[in-house]
Copies of this chain bind each other. A is one copy, B any other.
Amino acid sequence: MINTTFIFRTTLMSICLAGIMSGCSMNPNKPAALTIAQQGNFAAGGKIITSEGNFDDKQLFKPAGQTLHGDHASVFYQIPENPHPYPLVFLHGAGQSAKTWGTTPDGREGFQTIFLRQHFPVYLVDQPRRGQAGQSTVGAEVPATTNDQAWFNMFRLGRYPNFFKGVQFSQDPQALNQYFRQMTPNTGAYDEQVISDAMVEVLKRSGDAVLITHSQGGGPGWWTAIKSNQVKGIVAYEPGSGFVFPEHELPDPMPSATGTLAATPIKMADFQKLTKIPIIVYYGDNIPTEKNGYAGQENAGQDNWRVRLKMAQLWVDKINQHGGHAQLVHLPDIGIYGNTHFAFSDSNSDQIAQLLVDWLQKNKLD
């Protein structure tokens, strides 16, 4: 019985791997139905704070003597039938939420559904103090600051109002509208330790898993793998901050048009934990490099990524120097052009997904 199931699934998987562009369907116009064994939500981790005094149930909203539950992650998960052993746990970037991994801005299936079709359980995290995990143990102001154009440039769609030539982003105005509306603010201070503490608890629920991070999620991603031995691999799309280095082997800080990027010093024993698991880091196109003559360096939104790509290369080298298994893929170097800061939801997201499928397979994480 087990063998039959295994063969059946292996056959299905082969068809699916070949058919990823059509959503694993016999009819390319209508993707096959998804078969979900289980789905649901949970909160993971978090803290409880308490105000001094006594609760008075005649004055319900007087804080005295009351508690507040906050700083947890909020997770939506879906487990397909015949799942791979390792779930994929997705952690979004700055100003984003679990929605990042859903439908793409131009309305196609996102990594959430693409990888369900590939029989991976998916765990989609709203990090502490963001989205549906908004209840925070520290207060915050949420100003309604106009900044769409800043993100347009920072996320390398182009140099506002112009898109980059050949950018992997739909020119339909509705796609840009959906993209801007993915943003959702912090409801408490961003804190890598608070986030990674909650992520450790997410992993306890998901079981051993592959962690997939985006941008600002990179930093808490490394910390999650330092704090938990349940992270079996990390895939980081354009990590943007929190590059951890052994405290006595720090690279020089790197000035850029958006400020100076400095490494985060950590204990060697912590750093070494990151050398035990396979790690892959992807960066997209339109990043100024020596190779392309620093084209675009005068645009702050692009220059921000010049130093991050450089730092990421030093970081990967440092991991490997200490016996690790890290790899940096700058997509143009393998002939994939036009990707923005969101390769996984770009117009060529099926191609980007296939790279990940191959990497998971190569590292026996499927």
Contacts and interface: CB of A to CB of B under 8 A. Distances in A.
Nearest to A183: B135
A60 B301 contact: yes
A180 interface: yes
Interface string A5-29: 0000000000000000000000000
Given A40-B102, A150-B61, A181 B69 contact: yes
Interface string A38-64: 111111001001110001011111010
B113 A55 contact: no
Contact of A67 (B31, B137, B148): B148
Contact of A184 (B76, B132, B150, B180): B132
Interface residues of A, number: 83
A143 B134 CA distance: 11
A110 B133 CA distance: 18
A60 B138 contact: no
Given A41-B102, A57-B153, 20 more contacts: A33-B81, A34-B35, A34-B39, A40-B103, A40-B107, A40-B113, A43-B177, A43-B181, A57-B300, A63-B146, A74-B99, A74-B184, A76-B76, A98-B132, A126-B131, A130-B134, A131-B184, A136-B185, A140-B142, A141-B141
17 contacts: A40-B103, A42-B107, A43-B177, A60-B153, A60-B154, A61-B145, A63-B146, A63-B147, A66-B149, A66-B150, A67-B148, A131-B131, A134-B185, A136-B144, A138-B144, A139-B143, A184-B187
